[in-house]
């Protein structure tokens, strides 16, 4: 019988403690406190580039060149851009720099970025107008490049024309690039 009394007393103490603890938020409000929601889970923006968001992210960059092809495969993003008719060397470099920053600063699952900028010039062909696609510039940038994430925010579009940066970022400017933008080779 003594065990039943102890069990009953423990149950009464547990219920009383539960009721008192559940009343604490109400006591705080009565004392002039304000009710604030407590976030249990932090809403985090995903830092991954994937098939579901790659197009939206690229459109959000507001590139001046047209995107012709996008391929995302095992951490390698390959993009073909078509140079606009009135594009300048600076506008092309600015677009490439935006892509570098997206892949290596904003997102963390792209290990390699391959960019080709193609010159789309209409040429008359038999029956229909054909389009000649010639390479202007290509880039092969890798996350493993030394201090890339720290240096990209400091770069501007003109810096990509410097020989040291074009070697470091593996930029290849074709003779057509030099001819079109009147830059020394």
Which residue matches tokens 């030099």? 178
- Residue 152 tokens read as 């990209």
Domain containing 78 equals: 54-180
Q: What is the pLDDT of residues 55-91, one digit of tens each?
A: 888 988 989 999 999 999 999 999 999 998 888 999 9
Domain-embedded: residue 37:
no
State pLDDT tens for residues 161-177: 888 888 888 999 999 99
Task: Convert the pLDDT of each residue in 87-106 to its tens digit.
Answer: 899 999 999 999 999 999 88
| Structural domains counted in the chain | 1
In a domain, 38, yes or no: no
Q: Is residue 151 part of a domain?
A: yes
């Amino acid at each position: 019988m003594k065990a039943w009394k102890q069990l009953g007393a423990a149950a009464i103490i547990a219920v009383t403690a539960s009721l008192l603890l559940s009343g604490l938020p109400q006591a705080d409000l009565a004392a002039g406190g304000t009710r604030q929601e407590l976030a249990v889970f932090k809403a985090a923006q995903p830092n991954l580039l994937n098939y579901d968001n790659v197009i939206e992210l690229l459109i959000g960059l507001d590139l001046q060149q047209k995107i012709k092809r996008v391929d995302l495969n095992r951490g390698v993003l390959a993009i073909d851009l078509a140079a606009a008719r009135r594009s300048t060397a600076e506008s092309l470099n600015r677009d490439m720099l935006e892509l570098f920053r997206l892949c290596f600063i904003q997102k963390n699952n792209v290990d390699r970025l391959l960019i080709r900028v193609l010159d789309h010039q209409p040429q008359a062909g038999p029956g229909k107008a054909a389009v000649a696609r010639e390479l202007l510039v290509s880039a092969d940038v890798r996350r493993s490049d030394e201090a890339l994430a720290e240096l990209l925010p400091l770069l501007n579009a003109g810096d990509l024309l410097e020989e040291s940066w074009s070697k470091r970022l593996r930029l290849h400017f074709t003779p057509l690039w030099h001819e079109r933008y009147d830059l020394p080779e």
